[in-house]
């Protein structure tokens, strides 16, 4: 009877210890665990794969009769980057966020890129949930430079964004 009780307790302890794991895509302090690739589909654009540093991120809102237009240009720092993996995972660290956003990206056709965030941060708070970006166009890509452009119609008017990267 003692051995049955011991086996039951050890089994219960093993279930409790090993069944409740948290995802490890974002490490404390915003570091990335590259073992967290969550897709098995290989990306067919090898030039996109890698660690891209943000040079500039420019957003222009045309505006409407109700909403005024506006534009802003963000200049990247050494810590700002997008990491595209060969398994379609994307890790984004930019701006005021101290955490790394985690996403799955997809390339449609030859030059349309979009991603769905699994984790993202807003105002310094990490949120587990899906948020989808409007598609970006891969305007140019080489071994050392990348330009993504986006043009969408929003209730506030036409919105244009261009992100310039370098390796």
Q: Per residue in 66-106, pLDDT tens?
A: 778 888 899 999 889 999 999 999 999 887 667 788 899 99
Is the pTM above the cut of 0.85?
Answer: no
User: Is the torsion defined by CA of 98, 58, 74, 148 positive or negative?
Assistant: positive
Unique residue bearing structure tokens 């449609």 = 108
Domain total in the chain: 1
For the stretch 45-61, pLDDT in tens is 889 999 999 999 999 98
Alpha helix positions (H), the chain = 2-19
Say whether pLDDT at 64 is over 90.
no
At 132-166, the pLDDT tens digits run: 889 999 999 999 999 999 999 988 789 999 999 99
**For every residue of 47-91, which 3-state class applies, written as one string?**
CCCEEEEEEEEEEEECCCCCCCCEEEEEECCCCCEEEECCCCEEE
74 is in which domain, residue-wise?
A: 2-166
CATH number of the domain to which 90 belongs: 2.40.128
């Amino acid at each position: 009877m003692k051995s049955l009780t011991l086996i039951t307790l050890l089994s219960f302890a093993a279930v409790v210890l090993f069944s409740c794991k948290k995802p490890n895509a974002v490490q404390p302090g915003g570091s990335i665990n590259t073992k967290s690739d969550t897709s098995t589909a290989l990306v067919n654009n090898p030039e996109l794969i890698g660690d891209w540093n943000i040079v500039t991120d420019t957003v222009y809102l045309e505006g409407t009769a109700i909403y005024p237009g506006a534009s802003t240009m963000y200049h990247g720092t050494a810590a700002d980057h997008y990491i595209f993996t060969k398994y379609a995972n994307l890790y984004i660290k930019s701006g005021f966020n101290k955490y790394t956003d985690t996403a799955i990206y997809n390339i449609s056709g030859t030059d349309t890129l979009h991603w769905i965030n699994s984790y993202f941060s807003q105002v310094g708070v990490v949120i587990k949930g899906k948020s989808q970006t409007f598609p970006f166009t891969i305007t140019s890509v080489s071994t050392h430079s990348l330009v993504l452009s986006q043009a969408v119609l929003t209730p506030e008017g036409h919105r244009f964004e261009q992100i310039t990267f370098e390796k």
